[in-house]
Chain A
Amino acid sequence: MSIEIRKISKTFGTFAALRNINLVVPDGQLTALLGPSGSGKTTLLRIIAGLETPDATDGAEIRFAQQNVAGIDVRDRRVGFVFQHYALFRQLNVFENIAFGLRVRPRQTRPPEAVIRGKVKDLLKLVQLEGLEGRYPAQLSGGQRQRVALARALAIEPKVLLLDEPFGALDARVRQDLRRWLRRLHDEIHVTSLFVTHDQEEALEVADRIVVMNQGQIEQEGSPDEVFHSPASAFVMNFLGNVNLFHGRVEEGKAVFGPLVMEAPAGPLSHGSPARLFVRPFDLDIQLQAGADGALAGRVTRLQSAGPVVKVDVTTAEGQPMHVELSHERARQLQLAVAQAIFVVPRTAHVFADDYAI
């Protein structure tokens, strides 16, 4: 079931948490709402669930598969919601936690006890918690609690599944395992899912689509490849991984950064207006001689080769520090040493007009 959001804003006092959000979450996909804290991603998720009410603006709509749910109470919206700290019922055991959504149904629609038992058993199997149905939340590990919360949300056969920072409260090791598991689980059950995260790695690894949010607005939405390789704004570029930043200006339709000359960004840019160049560390190459194209002269200040790539810290002739990542193979060819004079050449770079302050 797809989710469509139109013209949704939310203001807390004088603080605009969301400004005119328009978004379509496609049916059956796993979508990540990615952004720094305060970007409004959790507020958006809670509005979709019905836990918050959006501002009453004209044309504001939330649709689950064409049906406007804006006026429907959270009780009747049939969403699965996994809270950041799981909010498991501490007085109920795992079995009763999962069965809760079925047991509280009105008598006419409540399934018989045998059906409830069968369903909970199936869910326990799905989240790999068989044999733990008698435990209480306090007796479970963080990862187990998260899976109980997920099973509990799935028990009501939700139209959409919403997860608030699902891995935020777990330690790094468990997080890795669980996000792969969640991806596999989603491939199995295919319920439209939306999860909030501030961890770009998590979003890139797990999601089919990523919605990048900043200051209550959507900066970009697209597949992980799109947002990573073709960032729409300096913010997205900067948020989705490490970058090297150069300041320059537009001259005669080209963006000029010292010896580097790039295509100017699209849009009406006057001659002399400031521009920024973003290059990811692995999009930089090091050469021992200046080539035909523009290259930045610099000196190696630090080498770190323990790890999947060789990290080289360089200080340019202008005194700007840069981070370069080379493959081990390339590093062996170059035979780099600290204090060696080298040239840095960007392979891929992104140029943005200087309208965004980091």
Chain B
Amino acid sequence: MKRTPTDMPPVAATHVRENDPRWVRATLIAITVLFLGIFLALPLASIFTEALRKGIGVYLASFRQPDAYAAIRLTLLVSAIAVPLNVVFGLAAAWAIARFRFCGRNVLLTLIDLPFAVSPVISGLIYVLLFGLHGWLGPWLNEHDLQVIFAVPGIVLATLFVTFPFVARELIPLMEEQGSEEELAARVLGASGWQIFWRITLPNVRWGLLYGVILCNARAMGEFGAVSVVSGHIRGLTNTVPLHVEILYNEYNFVAAFAVASLLALLALVTLGLKTAVEWKVRRDRAESAASREGSTP
């Protein structure tokens, strides 16, 4: 395409694309829509159609089964333990990493990322190796009549491990960006450590923290691999929702399987909605902190 410099618009990049031939744009859009449709919208729709295939009554009945009910309760319990613990850990780790330069800081950063890098199945196996009957701590636990593997504690541990990074990863860049000057100012004004934490640190990162919690919760409720290894699949006792779906499916109980799966799908949709809303808030906060810094430097 030939153009004289005068009709070159100031924001050339976006305009050039608008001037691409119509068929190029149409093809690109079609490919994207097709891809999204086949790989995202269609499976999502199929979950709900399969779940409602035999009517709303059968759909609702699937939840009334004691096993389904137990699975839902267990999933809620596990995330109710794992999410708060990881919030505490994430805040502590992010604070340490963002505020201090210490030896081993990079090691800690890498360790926080470890659960992202390791396959969830391996994460589960680590706990089996540690706490299983033939594992390192297994005999001792057995003597004291404590059961970790194939019981709720093992599921909680595995979930904790895989959801480790979410809160910390979200907070570290935010806290590094905001710096520690406000906290110093609060200290000079006579605030104690807890006062600084509750009045300055926490309010400053609240949206980032919420974002981390949402992601952490979604993963805690949806985790399959790691939990599957340590759970033992005992119906009504150690089955979480994702494991329950698998069992139902393997038994050709499709309606029930999809009905329970639809719960997870709904959770995903709600998470996405919340995530978008909070993301928007976080971006605005960051823009504000950037603007306040810019405004104060000539």
Secondary structure dominating the interface of A: loop
**When the two chains form their complex, are residues B192 and A142 in contact, meaning their CB atoms are under 8 A apart?**
no
Is B199 an interface residue, CB under 8 A from the partner? yes
What residue of chain B has the Cβ atom nearest to residue A169's Cβ? B296
Q: A82-105: contact bitstring with B at CB < 8 Å (1 yes, 0 no)?
A: 010111111100000000110011
Supposing A169-B296, A169-B297 touch, asked if A90 and B189 sit within 8 A by C-beta, the answer is no
Q: Which of A4-12, A71-79, A212-220, A341-349 has 4 or more CB atoms under 8 Å from chain B?
A: A71-79
Q: Does B191 count as interface, using CB distance less than 8 angstroms?
A: yes
| CB 8 Å contact bits of B194-232 with A (1 = contact, 0 = none) | 010001100110000000000000000000000000000
Is B298's beta carbon under 8 Å from chain A?
Answer: yes
Q: Which of B2-10, B178-186, B236-244, B275-283 contacts A (4 or more CB under 8 A)?
A: B178-186
Residues of B within 8 A of A104 (CB): 186, 189-192, 195, 199
- Interface assignment of A171: CB less than 8 Å from any CB of chain B: yes
The answer, yes or no, to whether B25 is at the interface (CB within 8 Å) is no
Residue A138 lies at the interface, judged by CB distance under 8 Å to chain B: yes
Dominant SS among interface residues on chain B: helix
Q: Are A91 and B204 in contact (CB under 8 A)?
A: yes
The residue in chain A whose Cβ has the minimal distance to the Cβ of B297 is: A169
Contact of A145 with B by CB under 8 A: yes
Contact in complex: B191, A169 (CB < 8 Å): no
For residue A81, CB closer than 8 A to chain B, the reply is yes
| Residues of A contacting B292 in the complex (Cβ-Cβ under 8 angstroms) | 88, 90, 137-138
Interfacial chain A residues near B190, Cβ < 8 Å:
75-76, 78, 101, 104-105, 156
Judge if A49 is at the interface, Cβ distance under 8 Å: yes
Q: Mark A320-344, 1 if CB is under 8 A from B, else 0.
A: 0000000000000000000000000
Q: How many residues of B contact A (CB 8 A)?
A: 25
Report the minimal beta-carbon distance from A45 to chain B, rounded to whole angstroms: 12
Q: A90-B204, A91-B204, A100-B186 are in contact. Are A145 and B296 (CB under 8 A)?
A: yes
Selected contact of A101 from candidates B182, B189, B203, CB within 8 Å: B189
The reply on B288 being an interface residue by CB < 8 A is yes
Write the chain A residue with the least CB distance to B287. Answer: A138
Taken together as a complex, chains A and B put the C-alpha atoms of A83 and B203 apart, in Å, by 21
- Residues in chain B near residue A75, CB distance under 8 A: 187-188, 190-192
A160 CB → nearest B CB, Å? 12
Residue of A nearest to B182 (CB): A87
| A83:B181 contact, CB within 8 angstroms | yes
List A contacts of B204 (CB < 8 A): 90-91
Q: Is residue B291 contacting chain A, with contact meaning CB distance below 8 A?
A: yes
Min C-beta distance of A136 to chain B, whole Å: 9
A79 to B292, CA, bound (A): 25
Q: Does A262 contact B (CB under 8 A)?
A: no
Please tell me if the beta carbons of A89 and B185 are within 8 angstroms of each other in the complex: yes
Residues 198-209 of chain A: 1 if any B CB is under 8 Å from the residue's CB, otherwise 0?
Answer: 000000000000
| B248 vs chain A, min Cβ distance (A) | 47
A-B contact sample (6 more), CB < 8 A, given A91-B203, A104-B189: A75-B191, A87-B184, A89-B182, A90-B288, A104-B191, A104-B195
Q: What are some 8 contacts across the A-B interface (CB < 8 A)?
A: A78-B190, A85-B181, A87-B181, A91-B203, A104-B192, A137-B292, A155-B189, A171-B298
